[in-house]
């Protein structure tokens, strides 16, 4: 069972990285094609800027949860260095719990937003006239991915003993 969970974790990590990378690549490709088309051929694609913007947003939302897993999001580390290890870990767990509450709400409200956009038939206000629920869908998807990673981190912080505290207790 543990082997299966590790395998699923690896597959999930790769999926997030690949999908996020594909959306970023799509965005850069569209921008480059648009620049070349405008400058060399005086031609512009309808909705290129819109699709490129949405692709960047999707890339960020897909890969933000990897930052949670690797614990590389921006935070004020000096505070963690000044506090005793147990207090720093408690503060980390508190921050993770608050972030989890926020992302859970983001997931819920994003879902409600998408449902409302579908119900009202909302479209983007550009020439592309894309159904608005398509770009909005990343809000509940990204919120869910972040929520799961934050839950994993919170469980890790609460269940795994701090190596520095364990070492101090052994001395």
For 47-80, the pLDDT digits (tens) are 899 999 999 999 999 899 988 888 888 777 788 8
Q: What is the DSSP letter of 123?
A: B
- Residue of 71, 77, 134 whose CA lies nearest to 99: 71
Helix H or strand E segment including 76:
none
| pLDDT level of residue 23 (50, 70, 90 thresholds) | very high
- What distance in Å separates the CA atoms of residue 54 and residue 31, rounded to the nearest whole number? 12
| Residue 40 pLDDT level (bands cut at 50, 70, 90) | very high
pLDDT for 120: 97
Which residues make beta-bridge pairs with 123?
Answer: 131
CB 162 within 8 A of CB 105: no
Domain coordinates in residue numbering, the chain: 2-165
- Report the predicted TM-score, pTM, of the whole model to 2 decimal places: 0.85
Predicted confidence at residue 165, as pLDDT, reads: 52
Asked if the model's pLDDT at residue 171 lies above 50, the reply is no
Q: pLDDT class for 169, splitting at 50, 70, 90?
A: very low
pLDDT digits (tens, 9 = 90+) for 116-167: 999 999 999 988 899 999 999 999 999 999 999 999 999 999 988 776 554 3
């Amino acid at each position: 069972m543990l082997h299966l969970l590790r395998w699923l974790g690896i597959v999930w990590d790769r999926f997030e990285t690949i999908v996020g990378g594909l959306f970023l690549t799509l965005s850069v490709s569209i921008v480059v094609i648009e620049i070349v088309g405008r400058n060399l051929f005086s031609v512009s694609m309808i909705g290129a800027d819109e699709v490129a913007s949405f692709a960047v947003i999707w890339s960020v939302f897909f890969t933000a949860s990897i930052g949670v897993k690797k614990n590389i999001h921006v935070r004020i580390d000096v505070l963690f260095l000044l506090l005793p290890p147990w207090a720093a870990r408690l503060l980390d767990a508190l921050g993770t719990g608050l972030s989890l509450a926020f992302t859970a709400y983001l997931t819920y409200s994003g879902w409600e937003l998408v449902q409302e956009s579908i119900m009202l038939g909302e479209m983007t206000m550009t020439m592309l006239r894309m159904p608005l629920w398509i770009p909005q869908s990343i809000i509940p998807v990204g919120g869910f991915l972040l929520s799961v990673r934050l839950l994993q981190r919170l469980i890790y912080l609460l269940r795994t003993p701090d190596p520095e505290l364990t070492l101090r207790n052994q001395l």
